[in-house]
Structure 1
């Protein structure tokens, strides 16, 4: 398998963490979707990463689709409850949707700030997106409570998604004081950061 992505994308990182936890072999191909020479569109018509290219040349895209598929490939470190446990499985996916939603809003703010001239930027629109980020963080903290992991005692895809979201906020939005506001999220993030899967995929430029 070949994963097309970048070293800074939190969605790519989520997939890389899953692959590490599942002990899956793959090659990692870097691609900058904003560069003129980007090639990801040859495998994903949407031109987005991550994109997982299979041995037969077919491709999977969207981190949620890829992560769910990867969890079926080996029983090592099951990250999603079995299909028969529908409510728990849905709860994990809600955590993932919440984490990805926080990222979606934050990424839009970053793009507004980095791709549009300052005179064309909309402070009101950015404030609306940041409001989603703060609301999402508050719900994460409330749902987590004093549990060791998002779903209680078990490490799941929910923790992977939340850990990648928090890590990217720390990387790109150091001015958002989520560590001070939500000590339980900071504790979870720090615990996850000690895992080899997170340590080896920390975002960086270059």
Structure 2
């Protein structure tokens, strides 16, 4: 292992959040696709409809049972706004139940975040000395590192760029990246500007 280089705490950017919610309504997807703009529904190919929102920019999978999956948001506030807007748009075409709420709760399933460590990484040394790392440079230029707590997968690139997936909160992304800087300290070289 090389001389340990201090890796500063990386700032990260959320690229995408995947979240799910149950609106507790029954949806008529045919009616929704017919009446609303920006809705695609081809039941022969997929059982759900796709609603595309421009603000916040997101795509939502809609299912007859009122369950939805939201993708494309970059913060939990945007997810809540997308879910609330979807509920407002769908309410006229839905059969409400006793559990229906106008501001449904959502659950973050996955966050994809990017970060730059500001150093170069020795991926060969990382792959041979760090546990839970896969690196096949002939097939893909990045190494894949998996952590158990918080459960996450990280793509590591030679230039110190990172893609983090699998976390379910912004706090977990931060914890993962802090842990990563400790694990990789001995495999970093030359600070990048």
**TM-score, length basis structure 1:** 0.22
Q: When you count strand as a share of all residues, which structure comes out higher? A: 2
Q: When you count helix as a share of all residues, which structure comes out higher? A: 1
